[in-house]
């Protein structure tokens, strides 16, 4: 890795998801000046995904009109518990990765400093510094997408915990006797789980518009958030039943976490949250207020992230910037 390079003020943020990745070039004013979005294609294997990350970084630099070697560093948010000090991806189920030394691999490939963080930690750090959570120092993040991830900022700093896994609300057990694949929050409230629930009972709803979405699946075999959101907004009986039930469970889980942590705010994000909008968020909030203890914790702010899909990129870039300045 090159030493004593002249600083350009530019850093790269990478939001690596199980389905999609987004790479952004971020300037010293925290503005994204170029982005590249690609499918992750996790099924192709670890090395292929890393090749796609590197290729996306190179493409983003081309679009920004800068050389890769002129960038100060890279921050990457990955969907896994992360050993932050070692830059190790501990267990990324959506990617099929275990104990992957991602920082070392990327530093060797790119020749620049790399910081690896949990993806939702990166996103909430972006929101805490630049978005919806700027007013608070104690915040829980809950990101609803293909799966469900969480992150924590406590005392104005990312809280990772002694074992690097703090904030993993998606793995909270809701139904201990639910059987394989039906126990956790993620297994009931993520996009994947909601689609599976709709598939299970769609036979009872012959007029449901979701049937058309099932027939027009993407190449990954999944039904997208926008298709689900369209059915939900139209009042489709099947979509409303499944999504409202999921929102109620999510609000309950958030209430449990806030009861434990007594944080000032909860930020909701992720593709499902953004697509489903106010009706969904209001349902989550209603369940949260019904279940949180004590009642004074109803004062906890429950807000939607302001940065959208740029939150992870910006948060990762900010972490890379801070690392470079040490």
Specify if 264 maps to a domain. Answer: yes
154's enclosing H/E stretch is: strand 148-154
User: Would you place residue 324 in the very low, low, confident or very high pLDDT band (cuts 50, 70, 90)?
Assistant: confident
Could you report the per-residue pLDDT of 40-89, keeping only the tens digit for each? 999 999 999 999 999 999 999 999 999 998 999 999 999 999 999 999 99
Specify if 6 maps to a domain. Answer: no
Is 37 a residue whose pLDDT tops 80?
yes
277 and 233 in a common domain: yes
263 and 163 in a common domain: yes
User: Would you place residue 298 in the very low, low, confident or very high pLDDT band (cuts 50, 70, 90)?
Assistant: very high
For the chain, give the percent of residues with pLDDT over 70. 97
Is 323 a residue whose pLDDT tops 60?
yes
Q: How far apart are CA 233 and CA 82, in angstroms?
A: 37
Specify if 3 maps to a domain. Answer: no
- Per-residue pLDDT, averaged over 161-184, amounts to 93
pLDDT at position 146 = 85
Residues paired with 158 in a beta bridge: 153
188 and 49 in a common domain: no
Q: What is the CATH number of the domain that holds 106?
A: 3.30.420.40
The pTM of this model reads 0.92
Contacts of 11 (CB under 8 A, 6+ apart): 25, 26, 71, 72, 73, 74, 75, 317, 320, 321, 324
Specify if 5 maps to a domain. Answer: no
What counts of helices (H) and strands (E) characterise the chain? 10, 13
Residue with tokens 């106010």, as numbered in its chain: 278
103 and 80 in a common domain: yes
pLDDT at position 159 = 96
271 and 191 in a common domain: yes
The one-character DSSP state at 18 is S
Residues paired with 267 in a beta bridge: 141, 303
Specify if 208 maps to a domain. Answer: yes
267 and 221 in a common domain: yes
pLDDT at position 229 = 94
Residue 116 · residue 73 · CB < 8 Å: no
Specify if 256 maps to a domain. Answer: yes
Residue 36 · residue 59 · CB < 8 Å: yes
Q: Which of 35-44, 195-204, 248-257 has the highest mean pLDDT?
A: 248-257
Residue 128 · residue 139 · CB < 8 Å: yes
178 and 68 in a common domain: no
275 and 175 in a common domain: yes
pLDDT at position 5 = 58
pLDDT at position 222 = 73
270 and 213 in a common domain: yes
Please compute, for residue 294, the number of CA atoms within 13 A of its CA located in the half-sphere on the CB side: 1
279's enclosing H/E stretch is: helix 271-291
Specify if 1 maps to a domain. Answer: no
For the chain, give the percent of residues with pLDDT over 90. 84
The crossing angle, in degrees rounded to 10, of helices 237-261 and 191-201 is 140
Is 1 a residue whose pLDDT tops 60?
no
Could you report the per-residue pLDDT of 233-243, keeping only the tens digit for each? 999 999 999 99
Specify if 130 maps to a domain. Answer: no
Domain containing 74: what range? 11-125+310-325
Direct distance between the N- and C-terminal alpha carbons of the chain, in angstroms, rounded to an integer: 17
Number of other CB atoms surrounding residue 200 within 10 Å = 10
User: Would you place residue 213 in the very low, low, confident or very high pLDDT band (cuts 50, 70, 90)?
Assistant: confident
Is 4 a residue whose pLDDT tops 60?
no
Q: How far apart are CA 289 and CA 318, in angstroms?
A: 33
Q: For the chain, how many structural domains are there in total?
A: 2
109 and 19 in a common domain: yes
Could you report the per-residue pLDDT of 115-130, keeping only the tens digit for each? 999 999 999 999 999 9
Can you say whether residue 9 is alpha, beta or left, with left for phi > 0 and alpha for psi between -120 and 50 degrees? left
191 and 48 in a common domain: no
23 and 162 in a common domain: no
Residue 74 · residue 14 · CB < 8 Å: yes
């Amino acid at each position: 890795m090159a030493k004593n390079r002249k600083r350009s003020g530019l850093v790269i943020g990478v939001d690596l998801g199980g389905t999609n990745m987004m790479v952004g070039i971020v300037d010293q004013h925290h503005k994204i000046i170029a982005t590249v979005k690609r499918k992750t294609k996790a099924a192709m294997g670890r090395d292929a995904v890393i090749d796609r990350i590197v290729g996306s970084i190179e493409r983003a630099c081309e679009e920004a009109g800068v050389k890769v070697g002129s960038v100060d560093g890279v921050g990457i948010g990955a969907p896994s518990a992360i050993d932050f000090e070692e830059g190790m991806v501990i267990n990324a189920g959506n990617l099929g990765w275990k104990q992957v030394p991602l920082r070392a691999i990327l530093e060797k490939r790119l020749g620049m400093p790399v910081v690896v963080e949990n993806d939702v930690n990166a996103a909430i750090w972006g929101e805490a510094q630049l978005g919806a959570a700027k007013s608070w120092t104690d915040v829980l993040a809950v990101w609803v997408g293909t799966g469900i991830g969480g992150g924590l900022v406590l005392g104005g700093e990312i809280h990772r915990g002694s074992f690097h896994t703090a904030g993993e609300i998606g793995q909270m057990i809701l139904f201990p006797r639910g059987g394989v694949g039906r126990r956790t929050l993620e297994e009931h409230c993520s996009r994947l789980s909601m689609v599976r629930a709709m598939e299970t009972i769609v036979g009872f709803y012959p007029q449901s518009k979701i049937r058309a979405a099932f027939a027009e699946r993407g190449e990954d075999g999944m039904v997208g958030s926008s298709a689900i959101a369209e059915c939900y907004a139209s009042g489709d009986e099947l979509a409303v039943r499944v999504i409202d039930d999921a929102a109620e469970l999510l609000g309950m889980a958030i209430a449990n976490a806030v009861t434990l942590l007594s944080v000032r705010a909860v930020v909701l994000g992720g593709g499902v949250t953004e697509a489903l909008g106010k009706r969904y968020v209001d349902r989550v909030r209603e369940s949260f207020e019904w279940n949180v203890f004590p009642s004074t914790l109803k004062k906890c702010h429950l807000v939607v992230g302001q940065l959208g899909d740029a939150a992870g990129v910006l948060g990762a870039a900010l972490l890379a910037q801070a690392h470079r300045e040490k």
